[in-house]
Amino acid sequence: MDNPWWHRSVVYQIYPRSFADANGDGMGDLRGIIQRLDHLAGLGVDVIWLSPICRSPQDDNGYDISDYQDIDPAFGSLADFDELLAGVHERGMRLIMDLVVNHSSDEHAWFAESRSGKDSPKRDWYWWRPARPGMEPGTPGAEPNNWGSVFGGSAWEYDPATGEYYLHIFSRKQPDLNWENPEVREAVYAMMNWWLDRGVDGFRMDVIDHISKDTSLPDGVVRPGSLYAEGGPHYMNGPRNHEFLHEMHERVFAGRATLLTVAEMPGVTIEEAARYTDPARREVDMVFGFEHVWVDRGPDPWVLYPLRLTKLKGILGRWQAGLADVGWNSLYWNNHDQPRVVSRYGDDSPEFRVRSAKMLGAVLHLHRGTPYIYQGEEIGMTNAPFASIADFRDIEALGHYAQAVEHEGHSSEDVLTVLRARGRDNARTPMQWDDSHQAGFTTGTPWLAVNPNHKEINAAAAVEDPDSVYHFYRRLIALRHDDPVVVYGDFTMLLPDDERLYAFTRRHGDTELLVVGNFSGERARADIPGAEAWSSAELVLTNAPARTGLDLEPWQVVIYRRRA
Ligand code: NOJ
């Protein structure tokens, strides 16, 4: 079988709410995206992943869908969507949708019907349970089990109308669908087929390793100092997850032209990822793992850990090795749930922002797998200067703040320090198009404040400047398109114990690449085995002015190529 097109592709994620606002209401929309398609075509990306645009009360910015087959009026209409899709295809790109089917909105007609009574035909479409035996329903501690919600508080919401609770791993407005029920699965597959028939090219599947739960819903372990248990072990990568995804493949993907399916899986291990992405098993094409973005997290979410490069290399190196023979990696630093990488693993000071953003891009894009660029990453956008909790909009930030400060006794300043560094709103500040008022994002008042640094950091300036992060990313994408070693080369990690340098080779046929990135603000020398062999190699790309061999400037990256 031919290699699928997505092996050679680069994906660009759009968070529509924050991308471009055409109608001046302060929220991005589909017409705004249509107007900016040439920015993406110019960058050279192959695929656009749209975060959710379906009808939604927007409790979790669209990850709470109340109608899977309509567009939220805040984003536009189905006619706008068709025009957007045509515009993407005309430019030779593809478009994948966000598929949010672990849960729906509580305002979805399915849930309204399920909630209407214990004998509703859709009662079993969600997870309804009575109070804990011997407890008065609706009183503290009477929840069916002790799981906490990802956004703070209990994972159960009491519904006085029927005297039972429903499960919501995320907000109370995101009730979990019961995938054990075949009618639920058939309804989801029908909806997916409807989108594919409309012309979309695949799906990014939201928390799709949560769909098979341990149906006994047992209590979990409560971490000291926490009010609720971590239910993850009982609802992530559960007993029927592979079966459900295989069934989805049979019902939806089989027999169609090659699509792209990406499974977001917070709880996935490498071994499981290899199974999920083994083409012979016909489940999904690639998974989004989380290990490498949790490298600076400990058991206590309110403690910040600095990046340890050896740990990061250990994780990414293991993923490269683990999926070398079977399966495929997705490669990302950023998305709408992660802080900006240049502020996190790089240096966002005026002196090193551009250089470190390029270094991070090069290291990521030269791994084996499909790279993802999150809007604004290609111009080196940074974290935002949030002054107080009033500046945040994210349900997760607000929920954690309330739980930590009001119920768990943490100081407001400590919690804010963590939210400033890790909060999801860092990624969600509006796209910085130019240096004008509101960064060219909107003519109105943006739903989340624009980062004041848009005066210097913006797309217009980046496109003008041949030395910008934007043009560097453009070259990285072109390199992937032009040189099979980037797509197919074997990966070998070098210098695993070095805390400053990230070094590896890629080899395909007789072509070998060497990539060395300096993750520090100091000069560093790469003492790699066989260094002499590289002294006359072609310098394919670097982010520093001069050729420096293997002596790297602060935050420098070098990519060398030679015939082996
Ligand atoms: C993962 C999404 O990326 C995140 O933004 C969302 O809050 C949760 N899933 C719940 O849908």
Over residues 210-229, mean pLDDT: 94
Atom of ligand 1 nearest to the CA of 100: 11
Closest CA to 187 of 67, 75, 299: 67
399: tokens are 């929920």
How many Å lie between the centroid of ligand 1 and the Cα of residue 63?
A: 6
How many Å lie between the centroid of ligand 1 and the Cα of residue 170?
A: 8
Atom of ligand 1 nearest to the CA of 266: 1
Is residue 454 classed exposed, middle or buried when 0-12, 13-18 and 19+ CB atoms within 10 A define those classes?
Answer: buried
How many Å lie between the centroid of ligand 1 and the Cα of residue 483?
A: 35
Q: Whose CA is nearest to atom 11 of ligand 1?
A: 63
Residue 98: the pLDDT is: 98
Per-residue pLDDT tens over the stretch 48-94: 999 999 999 999 999 999 999 999 999 999 999 999 999 999 999 99
User: Is the overall model pTM greater than 0.75, yes or no?
Assistant: yes
Over residues 254-281, mean pLDDT: 96
Per-residue pLDDT tens over the stretch 157-175: 999 999 999 999 999 999 9
* Range from 181-195, 365-379, 532-546 carrying the lowest mean pLDDT: 532-546
- Residue to mutate (ligand 1; options 49, 100, 210; most atoms within 8 A of CB): 100
With H, G, I as helix, E, B as strand and everything else as coil, classify residue 313. helix
Share of the chain above pLDDT 90, in %: 95
Q: Whose CA is nearest to atom 2 of ligand 1?
A: 206
Is residue 409 classed exposed, middle or buried when 0-12, 13-18 and 19+ CB atoms within 10 A define those classes?
Answer: exposed
- Residue to mutate (ligand 1; options 108, 173, 206; most atoms within 8 A of CB): 206
Per-residue pLDDT tens over the stretch 421-478: 999 999 999 999 999 999 999 999 999 999 999 999 999 999 999 999 999 999 999 9
How many Å lie between the centroid of ligand 1 and the Cα of residue 172?
A: 14
Residue 90: the pLDDT is: 98
Find out whether 145 and 226 touch, Cβ atoms under 8 Å. no
Residue 302: the pLDDT is: 74
Over residues 178-203, mean pLDDT: 98
Residue 1: the pLDDT is: 56
Q: Is the pLDDT of residue 301 over 80?
A: no
Contacts with 513 (C-beta within 8 Å, 6 or more apart), sequence order: 366, 485, 486, 489, 505, 506, 507, 540, 559, 560, 561
Per-residue pLDDT tens over the stretch 127-150: 999 999 999 999 999 999 999 999
Amino acid identity of residue 286, one-letter, is: M
Atom of ligand 1 nearest to the CA of 336: 5
How many Å lie between the centroid of ligand 1 and the Cα of residue 494?
A: 35
Q: Whose CA is nearest to atom 4 of ligand 1?
A: 337
- Residue to mutate (ligand 1; options 15, 56, 98, 207; most atoms within 8 A of CB): 207
Over residues 170-188, mean pLDDT: 98
Q: State the average pLDDT for the chain.
A: 97
How many Å lie between the centroid of ligand 1 and the Cα of residue 423?
A: 13
How many Å lie between the centroid of ligand 1 and the Cα of residue 207?
A: 7
Contacts with 356 (C-beta within 8 Å, 6 or more apart), sequence order: 342, 346, 347, 348, 555
- Residue to mutate (ligand 1; options 330, 337, 428; most atoms within 8 A of CB): 337
Q: Which residues are catalytic?
A: 206, 264
User: What are the pocket residues of ligand 1 if the criterion is a CB atom closer than 6 Å to any ligand atom?
Assistant: 60, 63, 100, 170, 206-207, 264, 336-337
Q: Is the pLDDT of residue 498 over 70?
A: yes
Share of the chain above pLDDT 70, in %: 100
pLDDT category of residue 546 using cuts at 50, 70 and 90: confident
Residue 164: the pLDDT is: 98
Atom of ligand 1 nearest to the CA of 63: 11
Over residues 532-545, mean pLDDT: 94
Atom of ligand 1 nearest to the CA of 102: 11
